[in-house]
């Protein structure tokens, strides 16, 4: 009996193990996963960056099939319909402050976006179909996200960057709408793509008034798919949804003590997290302290990582990760991880951060401080200037290379200019420290596709080669302002037109944050994203160009006045030509008499045809016959006109 | 009787001194005020077709192995690009890079003036000859006649519009030169030269195509004469003369030669264009970007013409209709004028040039400068033109007002487009009045001639 029991127990155990293992197998085959993460980072100017990162993955269709539990069907269909290899859509309000919020680290490098909507997509179709795919995609996205992305359909708004935007960017299209307003109607469809929407999990923090109150708000959607790539057949589709908000914590209690403001989830968002989204594989919150901040904090040591005299967390961190191989000397940043597995309704997760000692620091900036502005006045012409100023970072670069060559800083510029800004590319001038440079000296590579009126925008891709020890460099391009047809002006024409941001990238520098992960089993997509090498990008300001407007109320007046002038020309010249003076009239009459024989013959002939006796030409009869003749002519004319009108109606209708 | 006048236009130091003075004035302005005058950015001077800045952009594009017509900057001829392009390159070192171009335009202006003078002299000789044959010399008092060639050349050289065009670095001086060259060639009955000028001029700016009628008349029947109708009044003793006139009335052989040469030159020009565009673009694109651009009025930037504001405002579905109407307006008057003025082909050429420069899509003051210069050729015939003072003040007023209105609208933003459009309209009206008045006074002149010859024949 005991033996039987033991066998039974064994069986039960085996079954249990088997079932567990099958569950695991199912999970592995299933492979469809969703993770949610949230990163907080205190910023030097008393603000807090919060960065939501949601990632959904689906394995390739040929091994997994078409049915998904978590992955949004809309995105799946989008990828398959338009054969998208990679796509990124961002809705941004406000401008990323590269000076204060950093421009070198992966978070700012990939999350700083130009204001308005930016969309780029790479397709896996033949090059002649890319434009058609792009146009369809813009319309689909426009419907999906309730935004006017469909304005990117017109060939005057998008461009095909060759090399400066992304390396090896074939079949890529890029477009941006700087003036698109971003609001909740764009956020709601974006949230709909999440399995838990904003009902539970980290996304429940997204209280609309508080996230739209921020200084910077960027909502992104990044899509990569290996569906159509035979080399990456196990890649599937990855959908990353990111929301980056820069918020100002309420700093009433700390104002007097010169401390950085304390913050907590509930003070930033007015909400707390009631546990993780049930469908998420992992749900983590991170707090990142930048390298320079860690460096500047006093009495910091290895043991100080967890309990610090500078600050304290309201919840103790589950893991602490320290950056290794930091680019910046001993400044290595620290990432505190909090997992919200065991929080629920009665015990909500509310992370708080409290400063104890005042500390100041500054972010790692991009190699150059870039700004773009307009020069000149008036509405006829102007110039675009791009100013690149060295930062303390680039000044720390070695002045001379190891092979005794002058150190050069490579800067790629990608700029799209709408067609009504008619840029003269031959006027491109580069100044280094105020000294004009010869063309080949400063510009390594330049490819231009000039704008075509009402057809395509002007695209300039330029690779600059600047000496490392320069203080400032600038690039100027002159342009003429175009004049548009009245229908082409937007409703508020006097506000001006936007030139989308230029993209500045530094191909020689790549940024990554390598974290020593204490527990390899906890794989965080966001942290692994930070560990990827990526190019440093920065966006310049959007320029506002006022264009001259015609008088919008004038069409009828202009048409009538111009036509009057034409009539004046035609009428008066014709009158001058056919005016006869008395004598000439007499001469002509004499001539008529001479050549009257022909008329005589003609009238005889017509009389014969009519079967009437021909009466000799007297003035009265000739006039009557001519009047008759005219009347038949008139009838003929009327018939002709009617026939033409009929034909017109027939063919045009 | 004609001796003093002949003398007066044979050796005239005052002509050469003032011509040289005008050239020196240009050179001084180009060398010493290269940037202060800044005429090249005036919409009155440089149009999208003639702007040297756009030409420089086209040349730059071509140098960086792109089609010069890529983008909507350059709309001129590829030949001009090869000739003027190298002159536009920035030499650096802060030197005024357009110096050479300016020099080229000064030379072009000067040659144009010389050609106009030559045309005027030929015309005057022909005029005196035909008057003599009418026997009207005594009555018309030829000794009072001005040396019209000198006057026309000086009017051309000293016309502020010509000077502004020359300083404004627009390519109109070159276009004017070839247009005048074709008329000169036809006057001299140098058929290849006339054909060359006509082909190049129409290649550069399309509108001189309509000059084919006066050129054919010039080549076929010679210079301006009083209307042939007058000659029947001449007495029998002058029949010999009449016969000789009739004999040279129309030589179809020359006309045929003219067209043969024209087709040869056109072929040659097309081949040259094809070679210069070989690697970047095609002739089809060239026609689309030059003639297509002219005919479809794509650029709506303001100029002194009448079309830009119209096409900026007109409803899109009427656009094609009005394009046709406005272009046909030029062609409509070609035939009536040719019928009425066929005995005066030079004057006919002047009227055609004037009409096309009023109604063309992108007119500039350079076109006006040309026809105002040619107007000087007919100073004797048009001596009793009406409204000349009114027209003079009108031209002056609109040309002074136009920069003011442009400034108010574009730079200060206190005016609006209608201000500038109004000056363009006024300018067009004055030009139209000038053309109509000159045509009608030329017809009156013919009438007067007729009367005189009638009287002469009656009383002799």
**What's the pLDDT tens digit per position in A13-31?**
555 544 444 444 334 445 7
Residues A270-315 pLDDT 10s: 888 888 888 888 888 999 888 888 877 755 554 445 556 778 888 8
Burial of B326 (0-12, 13-18, 19+ CB in 10 A): buried
For residue B453, what pLDDT is reported? 76
| Angstroms from A409 CA to nearest CA on chain B | 24
Sheet with A458-467, edge to edge strand ranges = A443-449, A458-467, A408-417, A503-511, A534-539
Of the candidate ranges A340-349, A483-492, A568-577, A588-597, the one whose mean pLDDT is the lowest: A588-597
Is the Cβ pair B72, A453 closer than 8 Å? yes
DSSP 8-state assignment for residue B87:
G
Give the minimum alpha-carbon distance from A591 to chain B in angstroms, rounded to a whole number: 12
CB A121 within 8 A of CB A173: yes
Among A287-291, A337-341, A425-429, A579-583, the range scoring the smallest mean pLDDT is: A579-583
Is B91's pLDDT higher than 50?
yes
Q: Which two tokens stand for residue B211?
A: 């000059």
- State how far residue A592 is from chain B, nearest Cα, in angstroms: 15
Across the interface, whether the CB atoms of B312 and A487 are under 8 A apart is answered no
pLDDT digits (tens, 9 = 90+) for A145-163: 999 999 999 999 999 988 8
More confident residue, A642 or A235: A642
- The length of chain A is 653
Strand, helix or coil at A451? coil
Region B124-150: what's the mean pLDDT? 73
- The band of A383, judged by pLDDT with boundaries at 50, 70 and 90, is very high
Mean pLDDT of A487-500: 89
Determine the pLDDT at residue A133. 93
Mutate to test the interface with B, among A436, A558, A570, A578 (most CBs of B within 10 A): A558
Instruction: Please state which of the ranges A10-14, A107-111, A228-232, A258-262 shows the lowest mean pLDDT.
Output: A10-14
Q: Chain B: residue nearest A569 by CA?
A: B432
pLDDT at position A3 over 90: no
Q: Please state, in angstroms and rounded to a whole number, the distance separating the CA atoms of residues A598 and A612.
A: 19
Statement: residue A626 has pLDDT above 50 = no
CA–CA distance, A231 with A217 (Å, rounded to integer) = 37
pLDDT of residue B203: 94
User: Contact, B175 vs B112, CB < 8 A?
Assistant: no
Judge whether B246 is closer than 8 Å to chain A, CB to CB.
no
Separation CA B460–CA B452 (nearest Å): 12
- Asked if the A368-516+541-545 domain carries CATH number 2.60.40.1170, the reply is yes
Residue B89 has pLDDT above 70, yes or no: yes
Give B-chain residues touching A565 at CB under 8 angstroms: 306, 425, 428-429, 432
Which residue would you say has higher pLDDT here, B280 or B324? B324
- Give me chain A's average pLDDT, please: 82
Whole-number pLDDT of residue B112: 95
**In the predicted structure, residue B45 carries a pLDDT above the cut 60:** yes
Give the pLDDT mean for B415-435: 93
Q: How far is CA B72 from CA A321, A322, A424, A496, in A?
A: 56, 56, 11, 22
Asked if A450 and B429 come within 8 Å (Cβ–Cβ), the reply is no
Residue in A closest to B451 by C-alpha: A583
pLDDT for the residue B94:
45
Helix (H), strand (E), coil (C) string for A177-230: ECCCCCCHHHHHHHHHCCCCCCCCCHHHHCCHHHHCCCCEEEEEEEEEECCCCH
Chain B interface, best mutation among A576, A579, A583, by max B CB count within 10 A: A576
Q: Has residue B92 got a pLDDT over 70?
A: no
Chain B closest-CA separation from residue A620 CA (Å): 32
Rounded distance, CA A628 to CA A460, Å? Answer: 73
Per-residue pLDDT reduced to its tens digit, A408-419: 888 999 999 999
CA dist., res. A36 & res. A121, Å (int): 24
Overall average pLDDT of the A332-344 stretch: 80
Sheet holding A263-264, edge to edge: A263-264, A352-355, A311-313
Instruction: List b or e across A166-198, with b for residues whose CB sees 16 or more CB atoms inside 10 angstroms.
Output: beebebbbbbbbbbbebeeebbeebbebbbbeb
Instruction: Print burial letters for B327-359: b (CB count within 10 Å at least 16), e (below 16).
Output: bebbebbbeebbebbebbbbbbbbbbbbbbbbb
**Would the CB atoms of A548 and B60 count as touching at under 8 Å?**
no
> How many CB atoms are closer than 10 A to CB A502?
24
Pick from B92, B312, B447: CB nearest A550: B312
pLDDT of res. B235: 46
pLDDT at A249: 86
Alpha helices in A247-308 (DSSP H): 265-269, 291-296
pLDDT at A422 (0 to 100): 92
pLDDT band at B239 (very low <50, low <70, confident <90, very high): very low
- What is the pLDDT, as a whole number, of residue A318? 83
* Segment 336-395 of chain B within 8 Å of chain A by CB: 336-337, 340, 358-359
Collapsing DSSP states into helix, strand and coil, what is residue B285? helix
* Average pLDDT score over chain B: 85
> What DSSP designation does A486 have?
G
| Å between B59 CA and nearest CA of chain A | 9
Mean local confidence (pLDDT), A484-509: 89
Do B253 and B261 meet the contact criterion of CB atoms below 8 Å apart? no
Q: Which of A304-313, A435-444, B348-357, B410-419 has the lowest mean pLDDT?
A: A304-313
Residue B455 has pLDDT above 50, yes or no: yes
The pLDDT assigned to B278 comes to 86
Task: Using the predicted structure, report yes or no on whether residue A253 has a pLDDT greater than 70.
Answer: no
Among the listed ranges A308-322, B350-364, B415-429, which one has the minimum average pLDDT value? A308-322
Q: What are phi and psi of B276, to 5 degrees?
A: -75, -20
Question: What end-to-end distance do the CA atoms of chain B give, in Å?
Answer: 20
Estimate the crossing angle of helix B365-375 against helix B99-134, to 10 degrees: 30
Summarize pLDDT for B272-291 with one digit per residue, the tens: 999 998 888 888 989 999 99
User: Which of A105-114, A281-290, B32-41, B232-241: highest mean pLDDT?
Assistant: A281-290
Of B329, B435, B440, the CB nearest to A566: B329
CA B346 to chain centre: 12
**What's the rounded mean pLDDT across residues B226-242?**
54
Out of A245-254, B34-43, B409-418, the most confident range is B409-418
At residue A40, the pLDDT reads 92
User: Is the distance from CB of A539 to CB of A113 less than 8 angstroms?
Assistant: yes
Q: What is the pLDDT of residue A442?
A: 85
> How many residues does this entry show for chain B?
460
Pairs of CB atoms within 8 A across A/B:
151
- Check residue A502 and report its DSSP letter: P
Q: Map out the domains of chain B as residue ranges.
A: 28-132+148-292+311-381
Question: In the structure encoding, which two tokens stand for residue A208, read together?
Answer: 């609309």
According to the model, what pLDDT value does residue A176 have?
92
- CB within 8 Å of chain A, chain B residues 90-149: 92
**A400-409 contacts, C-beta under 8 A, 24 or more apart:** A406/A467, A406/A468, A407/A467, A407/A468, A407/A469, A408/A465, A408/A466, A408/A467, A408/A468, A409/A367, A409/A368, A409/A465, A409/A466, A409/A467, A409/A468, A409/A506, A409/A508
- Residue A529 CA to residue A336 CA, distance in Å, equals 16
CB-based contact (8 Å) between B280 and chain A?
A: no
Q: Is the pLDDT score of B135 beyond 60?
A: yes
Nearest-by-Cβ selection for A559 from B308, B310, B332:
B310
CA distances from B156 to A96, A228, B110, B374 (A): 61, 71, 9, 8
Q: Which of B301, B311, B336 sits opposite A577 (nearest CB)?
A: B336
């Amino acid at each position: 009996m005991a033996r039987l029991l033991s066998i039974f127990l064994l069986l039960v155990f085996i079954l249990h193990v088997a079932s567990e293992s099958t569950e695991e197998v199912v999970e592995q085959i299933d492979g469809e996963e969703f993770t949610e993460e949230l990163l907080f980072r205190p910023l030097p100017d008393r603000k807090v960056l919060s960065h939501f990162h949601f990632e959904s993955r689906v394995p390739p269709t040929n091994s997994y099939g078409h049915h998904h539990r978590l992955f949004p069907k809309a995105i799946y269909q989008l990828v398959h319909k338009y054969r998208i290899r990679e796509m990124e859509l961002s809705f941004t309000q406000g401008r990323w402050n590269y000076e204060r919020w950093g421009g070198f680290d992966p978070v700012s490098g990939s999350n700083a976006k130009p204001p308005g909507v930016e969309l780029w997509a790479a397709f896996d179709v033949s090059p002649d179909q890319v434009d058609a795919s792009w146009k369809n995609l813009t319309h689909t996205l426009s419907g999906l996200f309730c935004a006017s992305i469909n304005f990117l359909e017109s060939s005057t708004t998008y461009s095909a960057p060759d090399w400066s935007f992304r390396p090896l960017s074939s079949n890529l299209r890029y477009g941006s709408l700087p003036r698109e307003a971003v609001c909740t109607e764009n956020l709601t469809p974006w949230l709909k793509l999440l399995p838990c929407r904003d009902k539970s999990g980290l996304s429940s923090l997204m209280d609309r008034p508080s996230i739209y109150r921020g200084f910077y708000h960027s909502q992104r959607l990044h899509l990569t798919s290996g569906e159509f790539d035979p080399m990456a057949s196990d890649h599937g589709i990855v959908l990353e949804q990111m929301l980056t908000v820069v918020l100002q914590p309420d700093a009433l209690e700390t104002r007097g003590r010169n401390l950085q403001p304390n913050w907590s989830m509930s003070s930033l968002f007015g909400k707390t997290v009631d546990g993780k989204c049930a469908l998420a594989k992992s749900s983590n919150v991170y707090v990142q302290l930048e390298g320079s901040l860690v460096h500047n904090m006093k009495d910091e040591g290895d043991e100080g990582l967890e309990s610090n005299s500078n600050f304290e967390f309201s919840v103790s961190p589950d893991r602490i990760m320290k950056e290794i191989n930091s680019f910046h000397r001993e400044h290595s940043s620290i990432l505190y991880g909090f997992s919200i597995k065991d929080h629920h309704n009665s015990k909500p997760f509310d992370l708080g951060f409290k400063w104890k000692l005042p500390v100041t620091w500054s972010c790692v900036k991009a190699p150059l401080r870039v700004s773009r502005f307009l020069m000149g006045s008036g509405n006829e012409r102007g110039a675009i200037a791009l100013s690149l100023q060295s930062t303390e970072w680039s000044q720390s670069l070695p002045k001379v290379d190891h092979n005794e060559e002058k150190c050069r800083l490579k800067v790629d510029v990608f700029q799209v200019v709408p067609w009504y800004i008619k840029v003269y590319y031959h006027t491109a001038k580069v100044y280094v420290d105020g000294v004009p440079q010869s063309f080949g000296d400063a510009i390594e590579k330049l490819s231009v596709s000039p704008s075509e009126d009402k057809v395509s925008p002007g695209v300039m891709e330029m690779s600059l080669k600047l000496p490392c020890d320069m203080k400032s460099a600038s690039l100027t391009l002159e342009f003429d302002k175009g004049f548009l047809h009245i229908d082409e002006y937007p409703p508020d024409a006097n506000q001006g037109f936007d030139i989308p941001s230029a993209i500045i990238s530094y191909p020689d520098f790549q940024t990554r944050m390598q974290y020593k992960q204490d527990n390899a089993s906890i794989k965080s997509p966001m942290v692994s994203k930070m560990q990827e090498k990526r190019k440093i990008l920065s966006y310049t300001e959007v320029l506002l160009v006022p264009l001259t407007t015609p008088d919008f109320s004038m069409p009828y007046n202009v048409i009538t006045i111009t036509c009057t002038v034409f009539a004046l020309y035609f009428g008066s010249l014709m009158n001058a030509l056919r005016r006869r003076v008395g004598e000439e009239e007499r001469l002509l009459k004499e001539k008529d008499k001479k050549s009257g024989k022909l008329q005589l013959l003609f009238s005889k002939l017509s009389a014969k045809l009519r079967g009437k006796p021909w009466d000799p030409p007297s003035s009265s009869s000739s006039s009557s016959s001519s009047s008759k003749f005219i009347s038949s002519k008139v009838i003929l004319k009327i018939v002709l006109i009617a026939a033409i009108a009929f034909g017109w109606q027939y063919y045009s209708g | 009787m004609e001796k003093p006048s002949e003398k007066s236009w044979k050796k005239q130091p005052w002509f050469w001194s003032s011509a040289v003075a005008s050239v020196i004035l240009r050179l001084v302005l180009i060398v010493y005020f290269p940037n202060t005058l800044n005429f090249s950015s005036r919409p009155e001077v440089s149009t999208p077709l003639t702007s040297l800045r756009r030409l420089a952009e086209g040349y730059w594009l071509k140098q960086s192995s792109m089609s010069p017509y890529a983008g909507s900057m350059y709309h001129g001829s590829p030949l001009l690009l090869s000739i003027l392009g190298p002159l536009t390159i920035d030499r650096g070192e802060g030197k005024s890079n357009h110096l050479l171009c300016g020099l080229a335009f000064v030379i072009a202006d000067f040659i144009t003036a010389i050609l106009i003078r030559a045309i005027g002299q030929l015309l005057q000789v022909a005029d005196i000859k035909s008057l003599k044959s009418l026997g009207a010399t005594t009555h018309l008092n030829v000794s009072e006649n001005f040396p019209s060639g000198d006057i026309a050349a000086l009017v051309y050289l000293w016309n502020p519009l010509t000077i502004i065009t020359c300083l404004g670095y627009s390519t109109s001086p070159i276009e004017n030169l070839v247009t005048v060259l074709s008329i000169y060639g036809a006057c001299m009955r140098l058929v290849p030269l006339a054909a060359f000028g006509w082909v190049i001029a129409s290649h550069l700016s399309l509108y001189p195509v309509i000059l084919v009628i006066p050129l054919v008349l010039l080549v076929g029947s010679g210079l301006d004469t009083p209307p042939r109708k007058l000659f029947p009044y001449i007495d029998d003793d002058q029949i010999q003369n009449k016969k000789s006139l009739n004999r040279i009335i129309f030589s179809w052989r020359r006309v045929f030669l003219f067209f043969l040469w024209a087709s040869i030159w056109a072929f040659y020009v097309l081949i040259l264009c094809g070679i210069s565009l070989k690697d970047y673009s095609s002739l089809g694109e060239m026609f689309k970007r030059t003639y297509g651009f002219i005919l479809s009025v794509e650029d709506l930037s303001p100029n002194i013409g009448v079309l830009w504001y119209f096409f900026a405002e007109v409803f899109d579905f009427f656009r094609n209709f009005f394009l046709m109407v406005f272009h046909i307006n030029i062609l409509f008057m070609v035939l009536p004028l040719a019928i009425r003025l066929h005995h005066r082909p030079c004057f006919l050429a002047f009227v055609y040039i004037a009409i096309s420069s009023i109604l063309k899509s992108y007119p500039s003051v350079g076109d006006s400068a040309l026809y105002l210069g040619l107007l000087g050729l007919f100073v004797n015939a048009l001596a009793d033109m009406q409204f000349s003072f009114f027209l003079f003040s009108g031209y002056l007023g609109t040309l002074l007002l136009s920069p003011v209105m442009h400034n108010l609208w574009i730079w200060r933003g206190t005016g609006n487009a209608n201000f500038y459009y109004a000056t363009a309209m006024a300018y067009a009206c004055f030009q139209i009045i000038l053309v109509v008045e000159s045509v009608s006074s030329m017809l009156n002149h013919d009438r007067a001639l007729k009367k005189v010859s009638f009287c002469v024949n009656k009383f002799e």
